[in-house]
Amino acid sequence: MAANEHCSRTVKSELLAMADPKYKSFSAKLTPTVAPERIIGIRIPALRAYAKKLYKDGRASLILNEGEHEFFEENNLHAFLIEQIKDFERCIYELERFLPRIDNWATCDSLRPKCFSKNKASLLPKISKWLNSEHEYTVRFAIECLMLYYLDEDFDESYLGLVAKVKRDEYYVKMMVAWYFATALAKQWDSALPYLDEHRLCEWVHQKTIQKACESYRITAEQKEYLKGLKDIKYAYKK
C-alpha cells in the first residue's frame, strides 16, 4: 500500500473513532447543504487539535495532496491544516486548490489562515480575485476576509464598495454581505450607514443587515432605533 493511501486510511479511521453521534445530528441540522451520511460528528476544538497533531508529525502534506474527501470533517481537517501554514505564498497556493471544493458555510467560515493578519497588503489582490469567482463559497470567503482583517486599523471606505458590488442570488453569499455590513456598522458606523440610508444594497440584504445589526451588542440602543426606522421605510433600491 502506498504511503499516502495508508496515511489516508489511518487518518480516516482515527476520525471515525472520534465520532460523537449527538454532535453528528447537531452538525447535520446546521449544514443542510451537506448530506447527513457525510458527517461523522466531531467537535471543532477536537478536530483542530487533531490537525495540529498531523501538522507536527509530518502527515499534513499527504492530506493536503489528497483528492476529494469523503467526509465533511475531512474537509474541515484540510482547512485547519491550511490555517497553520506560516508561509503566505504556500498558504495561498494550498488555499486556492481547496476553495473550489468547499460546499458549505461551516467549512468556509472556519477557515482562518494565521498568516493573513501579517500579510494584509499581499492578501488584498487575492481577495479582489476571489470576489469575482463563479464559486459561491470562494466569494463568501473573500467577503469574510474583508470583514475580519479590514474593518479596523486597515479599513478603507472603498472596501465597503467592493462588497456592495457583489450581486449574487446564493443565500450564503447574501448572508455574508449582510453580516459584513452589520459588522461594518458596529466598527465603522459613519462610513457604513450611507449604504442603508441611501438604499445601496438589495432589499433582502438591507433588511437582513438591519436585523443582524440590531442583534449585536456592539450597536448602541440609539443606533438600533435609527436602523429600525430604516427598516420600516418603503424600500427603493438604488443600483
Q: So what's the pLDDT on residue 67?
A: 75
What confidence category does residue 232 fall into, taking pLDDT thresholds of 50, 70 and 90? Answer: low
pTM of the model: 0.91
- What's the confidence (pLDDT) of residue 1? 42
- Of 37, 188, 18, 171, give the one whose Cα is nearest residue 108: 171
Please enumerate, as own/partner, the contacts of 166-175 that have beta carbons within 8 Å and a separation of 24 or more: 166/131, 166/139, 167/202, 168/136, 168/139, 170/136, 172/105, 172/108, 172/136, 172/137, 172/140, 173/136, 173/139, 173/140, 173/143, 174/202, 174/204, 174/205, 174/208, 175/105, 175/208
The residue type of 121 is: A
Residue-wise pLDDT for 43-62, tens only, equals 999 999 999 999 888 888 87
What's the grid cell of residue 10? 489511518
- What is the band of 69 on the pLDDT scale with cuts at 50, 70, 90? confident
Average pLDDT along the chain: 92
Q: What is the pLDDT of residues 115-151, one digit of tens each?
A: 999 999 999 999 999 999 999 999 999 999 999 999 9
